[in-house]
Chain A
């Protein structure tokens, strides 16, 4: 680790800075596929899709991003730091007693984290409630996004949410499934098919291809919730 972080708040960070930011947490110069499985998805979302900034954390009209797969959050913290939600100098304390940045995020401690996560299968049901709550208040513009892992789909709570959200026509609800083939028992028929059967719009793309991700994230899906299955390298090669 030979990178110097300046205290200059006006510095902007790009995608190429993310490995260095992650290194501040992990102490490793390089990170394997497991640590970076969500990195490109998170970057494209925060860089080009989500309408949320550190100044808009209380804005009812902001887009909501809910990280449901809270395990291995270094990429998430790196992106939040790069986008100015979290001070860069918080990163080296990762996981320590006095740090707001734990190995699973806590929304009460992390600016910009819409939910705390760690126990799998909680984000999608909460996202359903968020989408319903915004709709009930006439806020039809903000989008709700939730990121889950392919193995996280083992949890039955997701299927309660998937089966409800389609028929309920939650158009402002978006799910990204980062698929690194980590489920021991892959969903029969595939991930996208599971969502499609419940009435969702579904796209499967290369989870490392920023243009493909952007196109999938911004694809129109009138009247239906939308899922993007982002395929990355298998966790266990």
Chain B
């Protein structure tokens, strides 16, 4: 199967043809995919070199002149390194852009901690007005990239990863998708976590919701699910554990509820290796997930 990132340059290259507002800003990373687009649109595909503050500042300037910048590099260099540019040049300047990241939480474990960004979505949560898409399949990535570019002058983050589900779901860029229905809790799987969550909850009497757009959060969709499944909610996110605990609590603020936030741990592992090894180390493989979800949703604990 191809990766989400394999879709990125072809999709955005097509959008460059279709929409004269679209521009692409790169900082070396990902430039090979845009070689042809750069030749065709040298003024709308810009590689600023290894300069991430300039990467985001340039996007803001393009937006101020009316263009729709699509900005791409690894998540750590797109959100974390130039965070003040994201906060000010886009947020405070009231401009829009589509930030498309690669490498996610640990797509390249052998590259080590410098290339891991489990905190990207949590960081964006400190800012106002961001839409955050977390596709779980290359087809979904394509759909969400198109949504993101078409979203006027909105600030949109699209988080691409090599972690993916076997099959894409039908998504609309806004709402939660109900994948399985049960009566003893809701498990909300975000993006690439769906396959593991489905395997982990096999035979459990829980509702499984699937989210590819986590901000704004579909609070109404979650509330509807809790009507039949109750208000024990387990979040399984491919980034920092507990990132969405707050939005879930806000959605259920007026009813008694319990929330378990599963995801990538904060502790730096100082390990290389493979994606699978890191998934397991963070307790996100199906066996570990089943144990943690099962314990949380077990009837004995519900009474307590």
Contact = CB atoms under 8 A, between A and B. Distances in A.
Interface of A: 60, 64, 106-108, 114-116, 119, 121-122, 124-137, 139, 156-157, 160-161, 163-164
Nearest to A127: B61
A149 to B, nearest CB: 17
Nearest to A142: B65
6 contacts: A107-B93, A116-B93, A125-B61, A133-B67, A136-B44, A161-B57
Contact of A129 (B20, B58, B92, B94): B58
Contacts of B60: 125-126, 129
A127 B62 CA distance: 9
B88 interface: yes
B53 interface: yes
A21 to B, nearest CB: 26
B58 A128 contact: yes
B20 to A, nearest CB: 8
Contact of B93 (A64, A126, A132, A133): A126
A164 B66 contact: no
B244 interface: no
Given A122-B57, A129-B58, A136 B23 contact: yes
A115 B93 contact: yes
A126 B84 contact: no
B58 A114 contact: no
A129 B64 contact: yes
A174 B109 CA distance: 44
Contacts of B216: none
Q: Which among A128, A136, A156, A163 has the highest number of chain B CB atoms within 10 Å? A: A136
A164 B48 CA distance: 7
Interface string B16-39: 000010010100000000000000
Nearest to A108: B94
Contact of B64 (A130, A160, A161): A130
Contacts of A139: 65
B51 interface: yes
Q: Which among A116, A134, A156, A160 has the highest number of chain B CB atoms within 10 Å? A: A160
Interface of B: 20, 23, 25, 43-44, 46, 48-49, 51, 53-54, 56-67, 69, 84-85, 88-89, 92-94
Given A128-B58, A130-B64, 4 more contacts: A116-B93, A122-B89, A125-B56, A132-B23
Given A132-B46, A136-B43, A125 B64 contact: no
Contacts, number: 103
Contacts of B20: 137
A222 B188 CA distance: 58
B23 A133 contact: yes
Nearest to A125: B57
Contacts of A129: 25, 57-65, 69
A167 B66 CA distance: 24
A121 B57 CA distance: 10
B40 to A, nearest CB: 13
A132 B46 CA distance: 9
Contact of A137 (B63, B65, B88, B92): B65
B43 A157 contact: no
A64 B199 CA distance: 57
Given A132-B43, A136-B23, A164 B64 contact: no
A71 to B, nearest CB: 15
Contacts of A161: 54, 57
A210 to B, nearest CB: 29
A125 B58 contact: yes
Contacts of A122: 57, 85, 88-89
Nearest to A106: B92
Given A129-B57, A160-B54, A107 B84 contact: no
B58 to A, nearest CB: 4
Contacts of B67: 133, 136-137
Q: Which among B44, B51, B65, B88 has the highest number of chain A CB atoms within 10 Å? A: B65
A157 B57 contact: yes
Contacts of A125: 53-54, 56-58, 60-61, 85, 89
Contacts of B93: 107, 115-116, 126
Q: Which among B20, B54, B69, B92 has the highest number of chain A CB atoms within 10 Å? A: B54
Contacts of B84: 119
B94 A131 contact: no
Report, nearest first, the 7 A-B pairs whose CB atoms are least far apart.
A129-B61, A125-B57, A133-B65, A129-B58, A160-B51, A136-B43, A160-B54
Given A122-B85, A126-B93, A136-B23, A164 B54 contact: yes
Contacts of A134: 65
Given A125-B85, A136-B23, A164 B61 contact: no
B219 to A, nearest CB: 28
A163 B53 CA distance: 13
